[in-house]
């Protein structure tokens, strides 16, 4: 999903745009199946894939073949057929992800292997043993129960047995209509697919539990998207991502049994089907938590409680990992929460650049429900909804107690452990460490520090060298990663028309009930704060800002040095400790993340026919902790890519851009993902 520059030099694209009917739409589901993918095959590079589709044998499959979007009662899956694309071709593939399936790097004709991947992983042809199906689930979206959702654009192909017989579910995202497509067309476009493909792999190589992405395949088929909702739609290329995970079952999978919601009136499609809930619990626990199944095989309540405790702890650790790399998911609905504790469904996500605890990566999250600092509590809230969905197989009084006892403690423990590693506090665990972390983040906030680059720089901070000039040099490096006056002006620019703000303030006083329907006090207060900060910035010079930032950082570095000194005093070999400290910090503080502007540059090149930048960024993200500024070994010649002159020019521009580890350019601060 690409981002849109709302007020700068370019206007690429918003994300998750409202679906529209386009040339790629296949009509009713029945028609899609009749005109679907070609018969099974796969005798070349992909012929080695071994399918064993346990989920379809273990869970109820919809018997109906009725066409079109519809309710799917009494089933976890509906059989579907991918809709073919015109001239599918490979944008990029992740060999580390495909290795999970037993696919090694093509030994012979790479071009033939890429063509085969494009044919099968576009959905144009089915692999022998695959059984395409769409999964039924519900979800609480932005806090409200939405009823049946399901795989509206994704298709389960089957489960592939890996080299050690481990089981991997593979999905095609963007392969066409399913019974869950609602008013959409079941397609994804190039910009959204590139973002999901790259971020899935980036998260894995950062060490964060995630679904994987094997390939990204685009085509000449087009769908219409009104990118800016301004009545000016445009054609975009249909694109498909191959997703890989142990399972794509999510919290919302258990919400299909929900009776009518007291607020929205919506209900799940399988109300009163506790027999299916039992089937799902048996399948999920025996398949993905076998040690729990074995330990509690004779007591289902204890077994289910142990399962809920484990997913509670996994989720707490997962969100702690997100917080420690500045990752914002953007749409933490219950249908986007993995039942095995993975990061799942990459939509309007974003990695923070300038540290802001209230950072909102999703431009359509008007209330900030899924802001960076809200993620831990939202994930806990979602676990509460999972607990409700497991009743009566797990009584609520048991699950609620588990949630209260386990979640916060696990999150705080894992978060502080990770932060200690990021700060090189490897010898001692002191109570004061939590305060040191909080003060670091507050200093970042006050100075507009770049979250990733500040942490990366700290490993070069000298503990024993008290030379004032060295400290001054380090302060210069740190402050170079802080926001400029111009960047702060963009960040604090008022977002409401003064007349609108005045009206809202008067309404809040005169008619609080009406005001509550159209705004919140928090939003108004935030806008007033923006106005105040923006006004102050008009008088601030760069020299004044630099002086202020140096003062803030010097104060925190003194505390950091004192804490590191305690580490040194506890060891016998200070040099060995120092070497180990730097090693630990450099393996926990990435140099490269998938910043929005990096993804945007890759998307723009790809939309012009040059896929080399997508491949280059992918390769870079496979080694996020290593120095690789001159990384160019996957740049192909433009003619070999079949690129046009315009594409070649675009690729040349990409090559001349900032190093991938740079603080983002000013235009990037106005990219809006929604």
161 burial (CB, 10 Å; 0-12 / 13-18 / 19+) is: middle
Describe the crossing of helices 498-510 and 521-537 by its angle, rounded to 10 degrees: 140
- Name the nearest CA neighbour of 322 among 445, 199, 168: 199
First to last CA, the chain: 9
How far is the C-alpha of 378 from the C-alpha of 517, rounded, in Å?
22
How far is the C-alpha of 505 from the C-alpha of 172, rounded, in Å?
49
Catalytic annotation present for 543 = no
DSSP state of 171: E
- The distance of Cα 527 from the centroid of its chain, to the nearest Å, equals 28
- Name the nearest CA neighbour of 481 among 578, 549, 434, 430: 549
How far is the C-alpha of 322 from the C-alpha of 641, rounded, in Å?
36
- Count Cα neighbours of 502 within 13 Å in the Cβ-side half-sphere: 3
Options 185, 335, 356, 450, the catalytic residue: 335
> CA 177, 181, 185: angle at the middle one, nearest 5?
55
**Beta-strand relationship, 89-93 and 125-127:** unpaired
SS (HEC) of 508-539: HHHCHHHHHHHCCHHHHHHHHHHHHHHHHHCC
- Count Cα neighbours of 669 within 13 Å in the Cβ-side half-sphere: 19
For the beta carbon of residue 429, count every other beta carbon within 10 angstroms. Answer: 10
How far is the C-alpha of 59 from the C-alpha of 55, rounded, in Å?
6
Q: Which two tokens stand for residue 31?
A: 């028609």
Q: Is 210 strand, coil or helix?
A: strand
Q: Which two tokens stand for residue 123?
A: 């959905």
- Count Cα neighbours of 121 within 13 Å in the Cβ-side half-sphere: 30
Q: Catalytic residues, which ones? A: 335
């Amino acid at each position: 999903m690409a981002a849109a520059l709302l007020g700068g030099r370019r206007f690429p694209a918003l994300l998750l745009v409202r679906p529209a009917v386009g040339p790629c739409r296949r009509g009713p589901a029945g028609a899609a199946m009749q005109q679907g993918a070609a018969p099974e095959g796969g005798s070349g590079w992909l012929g080695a894939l071994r399918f064993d589709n346990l989920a379809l044998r273990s869970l109820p499959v919809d018997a109906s073949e009725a066409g079109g979007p519809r309710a799917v009662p009494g089933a976890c899956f509906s059989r579907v057929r991918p809709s073919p694309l015109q001239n599918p071709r490979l944008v990029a593939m992740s060999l580390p992800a495909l290795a999970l399936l037993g696919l090694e790097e093509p030994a012979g004709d790479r071009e033939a292997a890429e063509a085969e991947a494009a044919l099968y992983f576009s959905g144009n042809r089915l692999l022998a043993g695959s059984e395409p199906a769409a999964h039924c689930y519900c979800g609480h979206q932005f806090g409200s129960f939405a009823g049946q959702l399901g795989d509206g654009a994704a298709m389960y192909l089957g489960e592939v047995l890996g080299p050690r017989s481990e089981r991997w579910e593979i999905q095609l995202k963007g392969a066409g209509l399913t019974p869950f497509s609602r008013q959409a067309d079941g397609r994804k476009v190039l910009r959204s697919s590139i973002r999901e493909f790259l971020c899935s792999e980036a998260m894995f190589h950062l060490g964060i539990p995630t679904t994987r992405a094997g390939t990204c395949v685009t085509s000449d088929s087009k769908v219409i998207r009104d990118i800016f909702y301004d009545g000016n739609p445009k054609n975009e290329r249909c694109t498909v991502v191959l997703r890989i995970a142990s399972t794509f079952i999510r919290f919302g999978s258990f919400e299909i049994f929900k009776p009518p919601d007291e607020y929205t009136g919506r209900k799940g499609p399988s109300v009163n089907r506790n027999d299916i809930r039992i089937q799902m619990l048996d399948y999920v626990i025996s398949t993905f938590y076998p040690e729990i199944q074995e330990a509690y095989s004779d007591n289902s309540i204890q077994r289910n409680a142990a399962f809920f405790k484990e997913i509670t702890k996994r989720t707490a650790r997962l969100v702690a990992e997100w917080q420690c790399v500045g990752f914002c998911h953007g749409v933490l609905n219950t249908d986007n929460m993995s039942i095995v504790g993975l990061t799942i469904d990459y939509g309007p996500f974003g990695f923070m650049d300038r540290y802001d605890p209230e950072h909102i990566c999703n431009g359509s999250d008007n209330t900030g429900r899924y802001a960076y600092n809200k993620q831990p509590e939202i994930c806990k809230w979602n676990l509460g909804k999972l607990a409700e969905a497991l009743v009566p197989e797990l009584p609520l009084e048991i699950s609620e107690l588990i949630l209260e006892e386990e979640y916060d403690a696990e999150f705080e423990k894992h978060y502080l452990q990770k932060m200690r590693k990021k700060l090189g506090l490897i010898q001692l665990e002191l109570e004061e460490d939590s305060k040191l972390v909080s003060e670091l983040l507050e200093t970042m906030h006050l100075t507009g520090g770049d979250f990733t680059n500040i942490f990366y720089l700290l490993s070069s901070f000298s503990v024993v060298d008290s030379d004032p000039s060295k400290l001054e040099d380090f302060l210069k490096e740190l402050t170079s990663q802080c926001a400029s006056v111009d960047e702060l002006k963009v960040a604090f620019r008022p977002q409401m028309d003064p007349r609108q703000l005045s009206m809202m303030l008067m309404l809040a006083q005169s008619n609080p009930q009406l005001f509550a329907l159209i705004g919140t006090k928090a939003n108004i207060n935030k806008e007033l704060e923006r106005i105040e900060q923006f006004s102050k910035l008009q008088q601030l010079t760069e020299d004044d800002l630099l002086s202020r930032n140096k003062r803030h950082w010097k104060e925190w570095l003194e505390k950091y040095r004192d804490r590191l000194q305690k580490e040194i005093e506890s060891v016998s070999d200070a040099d060995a400790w120092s070497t180990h400290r730097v090693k630990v910090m450099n393996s926990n503080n990435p140099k490269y993340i998938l910043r929005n502007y990096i993804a945007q540059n890759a998307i723009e090149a790809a939309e012009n026919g040059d896929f080399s930048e997508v491949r280059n960024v992918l390769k870079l993200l496979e080694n996020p902790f290593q120095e690789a500024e001159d990384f160019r070994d996957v740049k192909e010649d433009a003619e070999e890519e079949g690129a046009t002159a315009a594409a070649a020019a675009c690729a040349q521009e990409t090559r001349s851009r900032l190093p991938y580890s740079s603080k983002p350019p000013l235009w990037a601060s106005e990219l809006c993902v929604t």
